[in-house]
């Protein structure tokens, strides 16, 4: 299936997906990939589908959505492999732009050192770049890139692209358990401060990964990454992407729902939680109950107390 959706997306609202790469042709073999193991590790760009076919499939989906009264906020290239391996990407973007809907793409950034790839990406309105690591050893362990790729060239390519791009750039950093991140968060944060993304997302695996041993990073690790990134970029430019899709951003008027929604995206400092409770004319008992029920957890960082929604993906499986 080339076109699917629209589906709810935290980053993109209602997103109509474009699958322009067959399963699973990629330049990485990430240990956490939800698509599974990379079947064909490739670096050469080549055509996969006729651009006109992709355009027709997407156009039909957009029309069907309109007929059902559903809006499409973005048309998003999010395939079963790395979308920039598609030599027709630029042509497809040009055709799809005629539909009048903003274009997004989620890329692992592996080919952004190539000028032709950067040129194609400039045709999009929203570009998500993967930045799982900026140190070679960690990058090779987690993303398992094609052996001839250079991390230094990729990072330089991202900075080059950012200079020319006028749309929205976000980054995504996937955190997994069992990895000693050491000072990597500080190093990533320094790079992100130079890249200046609109939002830096901190993600965890929320679906079955390529490797069975992979687990989401612990809440303490995720919180530390958030604090380090926020210190460099500002708290309003760092968010979690931890799998609570749907009504995460909806205002419910219910303080418990609002608290869980906010802390699924941002850890909240104790004073901010107290302020929210005050607005809702609620007392601290709400927090104590959510802690008892295991829906919320309490964390310390730099002498401050934070509250974060417990990750569903860390709960033991039901047997």
Residue 25, phi then psi, degrees to nearest 5: -100, 120
- 127 or 32, higher pLDDT: 127
**3-241 and 261-314 in the same fold:** no
Asked if 59 contacts 75 with a C-beta cutoff of 8 angstroms, the reply is no
Arithmetic mean of pLDDT, 157-161: 98
> Among 85-94, 211-220, 237-246, where is mean pLDDT lowest?
237-246
Measure the CA–CA gap between 263 and 191, rounded to whole angstroms. 26
Find all residues with CB under 8 Å of 281, minimum gap 6, and list them: none
Q: What string of DSSP letters covers 152-187? A: HHHHHHHHHHHHH--SEEEEEEE-BTT---TTHHHH
Confidence of residue 227 (pLDDT cuts 50, 70, 90): very high
Indicate whether 285 pLDDT > 60: yes
pTM: 0.82
Contact 158, 132 (CB under 8 A): no
Distant-in-sequence, close-in-space partners of 163: CB < 8 Å, separation ≥ 6: none
Confidence of residue 299 (pLDDT cuts 50, 70, 90): confident
CATH number, domain 261-314, options 1.10.3470, 2.40.160, 1.10.10, 1.20.58:
1.10.10
Asked if residue 122 has pLDDT above 70, the reply is yes
pLDDT digits (tens, 9 = 90+) for 40-52: 888 999 999 999 9
Average pLDDT (53-62) is 94
Cβ(260)–Cβ(296) under 8 Å? yes
CATH architecture assignment, domain 3-241: Alpha-Beta Barrel (3.20)
**Res 259: pLDDT:** 83
Section 175-201 average pLDDT: 96
Q: Is residue 35 over pLDDT 90?
A: no
Average pLDDT, the chain: 87
Domain boundaries of the chain, sorted by first residue: 3-241, 261-314
pLDDT of 265 reads 53
- Give the pLDDT of residue 319: 44
State residue 317's pLDDT score.
Answer: 46
- Higher pLDDT: 6 or 96? It is 96
């Amino acid at each position: 299936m080339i076109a699917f959706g629209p589906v709810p997306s935290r980053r993109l609202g209602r997103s109509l997906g474009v699958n322009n790469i067959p399963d699973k042709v990629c330049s990485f073999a990430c240990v956490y990939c939800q698509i599974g193991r990379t079947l064909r590790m490739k670096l050469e760009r080549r055509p996969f589908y006729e651009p006109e076919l992709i355009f027709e499939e997407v156009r039909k989906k957009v029309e069907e959505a309109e007929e059902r009264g559903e809006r499409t906020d973005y048309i998003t290239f999010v395939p079963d492999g790395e979308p920039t391996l598609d030599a027709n990407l630029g042509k497809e973007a040009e055709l799809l732009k005629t539909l009048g809907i903003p274009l997004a793409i989620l890329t692992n950034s592996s080919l952004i050192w190539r000028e032709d790839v950067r040129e194609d990406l400039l045709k999009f309105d929203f570009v998500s770049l993967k930045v799982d690591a900026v140190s070679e050893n960690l990058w090779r362990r987690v993303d398992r890139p094609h052996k001839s790729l250079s991390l230094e060239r990729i990072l330089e390519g991202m900075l080059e692209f950012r200079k020319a791009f006028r749309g929205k750039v976000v980054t995504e950093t996937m955190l997994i358990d069992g990895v000693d991140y050491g000072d990597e968060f500080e190093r990533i944060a320094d790079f992100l401060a130079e890249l200046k993304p609109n939002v830096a997302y901190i993600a965890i695996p929320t679906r079955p990964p390529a490797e069975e041993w992979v687990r989401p990073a612990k809440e303490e690790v995720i919180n530390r990454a958030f604090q380090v990134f926020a210190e460099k970029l500002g708290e309003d430019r760092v968010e979690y992407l931890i799998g609570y899709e749907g009504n995460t951003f909806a205002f419910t008027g219910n303080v418990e729902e609002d608290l869980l929604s906010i802390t699924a995206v941002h850890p909240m400092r104790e004073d901010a939680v107290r302020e929210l409770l005050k607005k809702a004319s609620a007392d601290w008992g709400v927090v104590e109950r959510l802690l008892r029920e295991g829906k919320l957890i309490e964390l310390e960082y730099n002498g401050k107390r934070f509250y974060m929604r417990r990750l569903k993906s860390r709960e033991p499986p039901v047997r």
